Structure 1
Amino acid sequence: MGITSVNKTIDKQEISCDETLKVTLSLNAAPNIITHPVDIVLILDESKSMEVSALENLKIAADAFIDIIQESTQGESGQIGSGSHIGIVSFSDTATQETQLITSTADLKQAIDSLHANGRTNHADAFTKAIDLFNAASSNEKVMIMFTDGKTTIGLDPAPIAQNAKAQGIEIYCIGLLGSDGVDADALNEWASDPDATHVALTPNEEDLKKLFEDLAMNITQPGATNIVLEDIIQPDFTISGILAPDKGTAIIMDSQTIKWNISALGVKESENAVLEFYIRHIGTASGLKKVNESILYEDTQGNVADFPEPMVQVNCGGDVIGENCPEPKEIWLDHCKDFIEVNAGDVYLHSQGRLLEIETTIKHVCPDKRVALAIAVSEEDEYKEEHSLGTKFLTIPTHHEKECKDIHVKCIPFVLPEENCRCDMGMCQNRKIKIRVFANTIDSDVHCCKDTN
């Protein structure tokens, strides 16, 4: 099943220009056996060569195997779930179907606990009785696990029977314990499915059986994801401002735009979720609908693919509107030890001789998604109380996208005040009375003309 779901969310859909967002990354993984149920037959050697301690360790190992399958299939207490089953076949002189393919872990463990060492070793009958447990009409994957501590001492040659099982699509694992009768490693390799490296295990130590059966159970269930490495790279308009400890694994800030999250295992025995939260702050200067992600890189040992969504946030940098930008400066370098330098500053157009007036104003209660036309008229009153126009400027104020109406501050609107209406003999030192009138009107409107219905 692997990675079952991934997500990336943000806690706000709209922010101001330098506001902070909380970002949440989440992963869910589950064992593959949940969506691909398996029918498993444990074929357990109880021949006389199995010493008392070896048989007891085998029972412990088989019980541990059943517990892992039950946890991985997310079955109810005492039950194997998600459509999988386990059956038990024991063998010595002949083989016995101790259970059918069932889901009750208690019944399975009781059958295992009843095993006792006696008789010779008939592998052929063990394979035959195991094959008979499977339902050919079932779409479940079919697995046999043969455990033995000795060579075949009675019965037919088991190799053709094992070959027939593999031809029917049954996967065979073989575990050999080097008991008093010895184990034919070549025979186990012949019986088992390929490759031998993953389907055959030999142990000289009965205490190692539990670990072998646990590893085999994990291999059959196919864990969701291991050795996860996730790198989240955010857009350059944002910077990472903080990180919380994830509930699984470890996470570090690599640089101002990158977070790396490592998880050793997720969804190995059961469905699991992992969450990482961190904070980012907008550092750009432009408004607009912006993606948070630059990219997310994901990898794990199983080769799972994780496609994360790309959340977007509306950024409003419209609290202040700059009426006019200052002219671009001309940059020069003064070399040390130089007393004199000539610089060409380029062309500049003379608007009028006079003083410079810089105006700012606040437009009250501007509603969302409405452009505003702004006009600023400047005049001067002379000594006879007559007004003389000095000019008018017109600006279009862009829309904002916040939920409610807001005030928009407009600043840096320059006017040159010419001297032509004043007593020039006093130069630039005379007092002047300037009058400013500001007009604003919404451009976008729902108003429309009535159509003539005659």
Structure 2
Amino acid sequence: MGVTNSNKVVSIDRIGCDGTLKVTLALTAAPDITTNPTDIALVLDRSGSMTGTPLANMKAGAKTFIDIIEEATDGVKDGVIGSGSHIGIVSFASTATADTQLITSVATLKASVDALSAGGNTNHADAFSKAIALFDPASANQKVIVMFTDGNTTTGAPPAPVAAAARAAGIIIYCIGLVGSDGVDVNTLNEWATDPDASHVAVTPDDAKLEELFAALAANITKPGATNIVIDEILNDDFIITSLSSPTKGTAMMLNAHTLKWRIAELGVTASEGASLEFFIQHTGQSSGVKKVNASIQYSDDEGNIVIFPDPSVTVDCGVVVNPEDCPVPIDFETVGCSDSIMVDLGDSYLESLGRIVQMDVTVKNVCPGKRVALGVILTEVDEHGLEYQRGMKAITLPAHDQPTCRDVQVKCIKFVLPEDLALPSDNGQSICPTRYLRARVIAHNIDTDFRCCEGILTV
């Protein structure tokens, strides 16, 4: 059966700007049909558009499919499907018919295929319903529907809900499509089939290729699980991996902050088996929006299973961010030749001096929409006796935001310059760049208010 399911999920769908979430990768694989008994409903289109060579080639393909499954179950061509597996035939046109039940006789199955004749409309919903009815819900066998069709639905109920109910019940659906006179809809086959589409849907415009498609599908169903699995995951640049748990199967390692590799020696070789890997990621970008978790994820194994993982996204909310000061505009210049020195005029600079730059961020909590905020930041330096010395004050107006509710507002890059000639002699001049002890106070209040002073009128 090879890989029968692959999944990737995130623990939450909304995080803050620097929020974290858990990502889970999961795989399920099942062994070959000899150790994983399988019941297969072979569903064959005999509508009017199949008249002539399409019907003949479909019959040849269906019988080749039966032969491959039969030999895979016990290793010999003895006319009997072994190891507890079964095949049943359902054919359909305007209505569907269970031409056999789930049986093991190759001769009876082939005779039912040979007896088919073309005519009528195309009722896929009834075909799925008759196929589902073949299976015994109490049976532990894997359940598979192989749907062959050459056209779109022309009668009966919509088939998609019936196919969805089958998948929900654990039935694996494969679809083979022939581009017939009324044009098979590949997107519809993808909707019916089990994911991933690449390994569960095959289409050809040439009915001579049908036997080849049926043979390839039978070989896929009999695959012996998966061996030497390698999964390479690369995160979107907005995220980094913060921790990686040990997988339930195999080994995983981080190659860098954005990349991990998961290796599994074998999965589902002797029995149906699952494996999962959990890791935590953190958003490190600066912008809000819907962010895809993955940049890419690649799968490979020795059996050539085609595995496609989902591509989850998460909504990132960075809140309201205010940058009250721009970084200084850089001045570009260049050196030419082998000069020992150059002279550069850097222009004018205002109210700044040599020394250290202190850059601070602050978050103003619960700022309601439509309200401007006055923000004051006072910086002092503290000496060894606890005395404070003024080092500057910034007064900033935060513009009103239009978010629907009160929000936290981040104010970033509030810069103060600390000239070295103002440094306190706390280390008795022992170092060039002494430790300096600073203290910041933040004052914020709303500018806009509905309050009005009462105007009293005194009457005598």
**Fold equivalence (TM over 0.5):** no
TM-score, normalised via structure 1 length: 0.43
TM-score, normalised via structure 2 length: 0.42
